[in-house]
């Protein structure tokens, strides 16, 4: 079996595979593979984490396994996931490992690997690690054990890297920014970056307890940020998720600026238009139409930053992302980076001398309705001719001004029916109608 999902290994702490025992064995297996694939070097791995309490345990277990395999470990402490990707390259490490479950609750955790280039670990290396996990831990020679050192300036290195993506002749001195750190990995470096660029920063949810990460805060719960921006009469707000690879922004009136808005701003309002933009099947149709009007090519990838990255590389483009705020700017960073994405929007604000709401003034999201149809037993909706006919009718009705997306959940017996269009009432009616049709035919089957 493969322990790796589309975004590393993830689950509830204390349950396989997110246990101390498995982390120890995973560290050893990964170390053995690194030694085998780098026979002339003493492999170095950088290891970072978010603020979950369980991160301390997984960090110690992974570190022990890697050292036992003869790998040197550079401990970074709590830092955003993209910081680990950057420092893997900057420190010339052979791999990077981050312990985080991103936007999930505190009781979950995960382990994700980066290659020496700061990118997702190639599939063939994941397979080699999976194979090595079948073997027992055997120490061959205690003279060849690895060591661990703590990188004391990891925070400062990453802060300077983020600042380097903002034009040196600009500053943020005229801006008041509320920053919601989600009690996560960016609790320290996030506010520091904007403060050092001159902004007046009001930090929210920057006191992690190990148990409060993402709890009613951050990019998945921006309500407190919206309220705080208005109360403090700030120019804008910025919210990260637990590992700071996602960003949601808020304008001075408390209105949300999500990933689709950010892609729109970077594609149409910046001085230099990008060659093209990659979204996902979940990107709002309003973005597709706005980019078409601006003559910026647009393609959709499957949900997940891995697929966005793949499409960007295939097209030789640099900007892509998801409505959730996972934004990639490959000319700045190798992976999705919330701080850097926010800085690119701030760059446009400064160069255009416009407020955030002005940059997105001409962009209005289409109404979107999602209905989750829970079934006793999963079916393939596109294998039912009568349902296909219903879907085709809806698509014909929405042609040119809306769309629908019918997809199976990958984790539960649920069909997700999403309808999007320029008329709220029509979209709601169609979504409910199609959901009812799926229920009826699933029961009949």
Q: What would the pLDDT profile of 27-65 be if each residue is shown by its tens digit? A: 999 999 999 999 888 999 999 999 999 999 999 999 999
Residue 82: closest CA among 26, 4, 154, 174:
154
Please write the tens of the pLDDT for every residue from 322-335: 999 999 999 999 99
Which DSSP string do the residues of 30-93 spell out, in sequence order? HHHHHHHH-TTS--EEEEEE-S-THHHHHHHHHHHHHHHTT-EEEEEEE--HHHHHHHHHHTT-
Which whole number is the average pLDDT over 336-354? Answer: 98
Which residue, chain included where needed, has tokens 């052979």? 94
Instruction: Give the H/E segment covering residue 407.
Output: strand 402-408
Q: CA distances (Å), 181 to each of 37, 201, 205, 358, 369, in order?
A: 38, 12, 5, 25, 29
β 176-180/72-78 pair status: unpaired
Tokens encoding 422: 């320029």
Split at pLDDT 50, 70, 90, the class of 388 is very high
**Domains of the chain and CATH, by start:** 9-152 (3.40.120.10), 157-359 (3.40.120.10), 368-444 (3.30.310.50)
Give the per-residue pLDDT at 409.
79
Q: List the one residue out of 374, 373, 425 whose CA is nearest residue 402.
A: 425
Our separate counts of H helices and E strands in the chain read 14, 18
Pair of tokens at residue 92: 């010339």
What would the pLDDT profile of 245-286 be if each residue is shown by its tens digit?
999 999 999 999 999 999 999 999 999 899 999 999 999 999
Give the rounded percent of residues in the chain with a pLDDT score beyond 90.
91
| Mean local confidence (pLDDT), 399-408 | 92
Residues recorded for the chain: 445
Q: Where does 145-249 have alpha helices with state H?
A: 154-164, 189-196, 223-231
CA distances from residue 353 to 173, 348, 356 in whole angstroms, order as listed: 13, 8, 10
Query: What is the C-alpha separation between 427 and 23, in angstroms, rounded?
Result: 47
Q: What is the pLDDT, as a whole number, of residue 276? A: 98
3-state secondary structure of 216: coil
Which residues is 200 bridged to in the sheet? 176
Residue 300 has a pLDDT of: 97
Instruction: Report the distance separating Cα 361 and Cα 257, nearest Å.
Output: 11
Residues 146-159: tens digit of each pLDDT: 999 999 999 999 99
pLDDT digits (tens, 9 = 90+) for 165-221: 999 999 999 999 999 999 999 999 999 999 999 999 999 999 999 999 999 999 999
The pLDDT of residue 269: 95
CA distance 235 to 91: 37
Band (7; pLDDT cuts 50, 70, 90): confident
Contacts of 428 (CB under 8 A, 6+ apart): 367, 369
Q: Which one, of 76, 74, 123, lies nearest residue 94 by Cα?
A: 74
**Residue-level pLDDT at 411:** 66
Catalytic residues: 102
**pLDDT band for position 413 (50/70/90)?**
confident
- Determine the Cα–Cα distance for residues 8 and 322; give it in Å rounded to an integer: 19
Compute the C-alpha angle 72/46/117, nearest 5°: 115
Nearest to 306 by CA among 2, 8, 55: 8
Average pLDDT along the chain: 95
Whether pLDDT at 445 is above 70:
no
* C-alpha distances in Å from residue 418, one per residue of 44, 157, 168, 281: 46, 43, 43, 11
Burial (CB count <10 Å: 0-12, 13-18, 19+), residue 171: middle
Distance CA 297, CA 315 (A): 10
Q: How confident is the model at residue 304 (pLDDT cuts 50, 70, 90)?
A: confident
Spatial contact of 235 and 356, defined as CB atoms under 8 Å apart: yes
pLDDT digits (tens, 9 = 90+) for 96-134: 999 999 999 999 999 999 999 999 888 899 999 999 999
pLDDT of residue 303: 87
pLDDT of residue 113: 97
Q: Round the CA-based radius of gyration of the chain to a whole number and report it.
A: 23
């Amino acid at each position: 079996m493969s322990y790796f999902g589309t975004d590393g290994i993830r689950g509830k702490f204390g349950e396989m595979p997110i246990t101390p025992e498995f982390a120890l064995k995973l560290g050893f297996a990964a170390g053995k593979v690194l030694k085998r694939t780098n026979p002339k070097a003493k492999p170095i791995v950088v290891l970072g984490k978010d603020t979950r309490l369980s991160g301390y345990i997984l960090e110690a277990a992974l570190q022990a396994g890697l050292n036992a395999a003869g790998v040197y470990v550079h401990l970074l402490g709590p830092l955003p996931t993209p910081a680990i990707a950057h420092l893997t390259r900057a420190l010339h490490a052979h791999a990077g490992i981050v312990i985080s479950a991103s936007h999930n609750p505190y009781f979950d955790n995960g382990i994700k690997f980066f290659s020496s280039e700061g990118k997702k670990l190639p599939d063939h290396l994941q397979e080699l690690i999976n194979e090595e996990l079948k073997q027992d831990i055997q120490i061959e020679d205690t003279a060849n054990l690895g060591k661990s050192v703590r990188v004391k300036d990891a925070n400062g290195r990453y802060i300077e890297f983020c600042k380097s993506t903002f034009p040196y002749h600009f500053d943020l001195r005229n801006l008041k920014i509320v920053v919601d750190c989600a009690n996560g990995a960016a609790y320290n470096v996030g506010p520091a970056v904007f403060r050092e660029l001159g902004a007046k920063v009001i930090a929210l949810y920057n006191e992690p307890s190990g148990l409060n990460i993402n709890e009613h805060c951050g990019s998945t719960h921006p309500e407190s940020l919206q309220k705080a921006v208005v109360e403090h009469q700030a120019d804008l707000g910025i919210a990260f998720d637990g590992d700071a690879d996602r960003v949601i922004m808020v304008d001075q009136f408390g209105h949300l600026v999500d990933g689709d808005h950010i892609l729109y701003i970077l594609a149409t309002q910046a001085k230099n238009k990008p060659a093209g933009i990659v979204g996902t099947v979940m990107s709002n149709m309003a973005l597709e139409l706005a980019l078409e009007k601006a003559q910026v090519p647009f393609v959709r990838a499957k949900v997940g930053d891995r697929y966005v990255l793949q499409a960007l590389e295939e097209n030789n483009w640099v900007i892509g992302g998801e409505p959730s705020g996972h934004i990639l700017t490959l000319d700045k960073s190798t992976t999705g980076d919330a701080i850097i994405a926010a800085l690119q929007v701030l760059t446009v604000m400064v160069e255009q001398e416009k407020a955030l709401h002005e940059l997105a003034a001409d962009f209005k999201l289409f109404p979107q309705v999602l209905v989750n149809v829970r079934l006793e037993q999963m079916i393939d909706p596109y294998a039912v001719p009568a349902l296909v006919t219903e879907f085709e009718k809806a698509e014909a009705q929405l042609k040119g001004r809306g769309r629908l997306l019918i997809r199976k959940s990958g984790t539960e017996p649920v069909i997700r029916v999403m309808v999007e269009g320029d008329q709220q009432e029509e979209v709601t009616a169609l979504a409910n109608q199609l959901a009812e049709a799926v229920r009826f035919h699933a029961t009949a089957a």
